[in-house]
C-alpha cells in the first residue's frame, strides 16, 4: 500500500518523465519488509535535462530545499543527498530526499536496467530500485539499516525457496544474514555455494553447519561495511559542514 502523499509525489515524478527510482523505506514495504516511513527517497539520473524535469515536478509539489547542500548537479554527482519539503497542503509536509550516487551500487544506468516496475491494481505504475541493489544500498553505518537488510533478504528467500532460480540462490548465498537460513541454503544448494564461497568466504562455515562461527563472521562482515560507509561519507560530511558554516555567516 502506497500512502496517498507518497503516491502524489510519484505521480508528479512520472508525469514530468523524470528518470527516478523509488528506494528507502517505501521500497522496503513493496518488497515485503515493512518499514514505516513518511519520506519519499529517490535515486535519479543526474544530467541537465533530467534535473530540469525534476525541477518542474518539485515546483508542482511546492517543494523547497530544507538543508544543505543546494539543489545543484555537482553536489548530486559527488554523492550528496538533497532534501526537500513539500508545502502543498495535500502532501502533509512530505519530505523528498534525492540522490544520484550511492555507495556500493553501480551507475544510474545500471540501476535503471535492473529496476522493478510496479503496477498497482488501478493501473498506476512507478519504478523501484531492484531488490539486490536496494540490499546493497542498505549496507550503511546506520544501526537501523541492518535489521531491515536482513528482513528484505529473508522475505525474498521465504517467497522463493521452494522453486528458486540459480540467480535467486546466488543472491541468497551472498546476502542472507541469518546463520540458520544460510546453513539451510548451503545444504540445499551445495554446488552453487562452493562457487559462491570465493566471493563470500564466510560461506565455508555455512557448509560446515557451524552457526557460532557463522554468526561471528557475519558481525565482522557488517563491521567492515560500516567502516567502508564511514570512510565514504567522511569527505562528504566535511563538505556539508563547510556549507553550513558559510550559510550561517551570511545570515
Look at the domain 4-130 and name its fold: Beta Polymerase; domain 2 (3.30.460)
Buried b (16+ CB within 10 A) or exposed e, 213-222: ebbebbeeeb
Q: Cell 538533497 identifies what position?
A: 82
Q: What pTM, to 2 d.p., does this model score?
A: 0.93
| Closest-CA residue to 200 (of 218, 184, 183) | 218
pLDDT of residue 1: 56
Residues 6+ apart with CB under 8 A from 138: 145, 146, 148, 149, 152
pLDDT of residue 170: 98
Element (H, E) at 65: strand 63-65
What residue segments make up the domains of the chain, in order of their start? 4-130, 145-230
pLDDT of residue 248: 83
Which triple of cell numbers denotes residue 198?
570465493
pLDDT of residue 225: 98
For the chain, residues with pLDDT lower than 50 are: none
pLDDT of residue 4: 84
Amino acid at each position: 500500500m502506497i500512502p496517498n502523499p507518497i503516491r502524489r509525489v510519484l505521480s508528479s515524478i512520472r508525469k514530468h518523465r523524470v528518470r527516478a527510482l523509488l528506494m528507502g523505506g517505501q521500497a522496503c514495504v513493496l518488497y515485503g519488509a515493512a518499514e514505516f516511513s513518511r519520506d519519499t527517497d529517490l535515486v535519479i539520473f543526474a544530467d541537465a535535462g533530467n534535473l530540469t524535469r525534476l525541477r518542474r515536478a518539485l515546483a508542482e509539489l511546492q517543494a523547497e530545499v530544507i538543508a544543505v547542500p543546494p539543489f545543484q548537479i555537482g553536489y548530486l554527482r559527488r554523492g550528496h543527498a538533497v532534501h526537500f519539503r513539500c508545502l502543498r497542503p495535500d502532501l502533509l509536509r512530505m519530505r523528498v530526499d534525492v540522490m544520484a550516487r550511492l555507495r556500493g551500487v553501480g551507475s544510474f544506468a545500471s540501476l535503471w536496467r535492473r529496476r522493478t516496475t510496479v503496477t498497482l491494481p488501478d493501473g498506476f505504475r512507478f519504478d523501484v530500485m531492484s531488490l539486490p541493489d536496494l540490499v546493497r544500498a542498505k549496507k550503511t553505518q546506520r544501526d537501523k539499516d541492518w535489521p531491515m537488510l536482513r528482513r528484505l533478504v529473508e522475505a525474498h528467500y521465504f517467497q522463493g525457496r521452494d522453486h528458486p532460480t540459480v540467480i535467486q540462490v546466488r543472491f541468497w548465498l551472498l546476502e542472507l544474514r541469518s546463520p540458520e537460513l544460510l546453513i539451510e541454503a548451503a545444504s540445499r544448494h551445495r554446488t552453487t555455494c562452493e562457487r559462491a564461497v570465493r566471493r563470500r568466504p564466510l560461506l565455508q562455515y555455512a557448509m560446515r553447519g557451524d552457526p557460532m562461527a557463522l554468526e561471528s563472521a557475519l558481525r565482522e562482515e557488517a563491521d567492515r561495511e560500516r567502516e567502508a560507509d564511514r570512510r565514504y561519507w567522511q569527505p562528504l560530511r566535511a563538505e556539508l559542514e563547510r556549507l553550513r558554516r558559510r550559510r550561517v555567516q551570511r545570515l
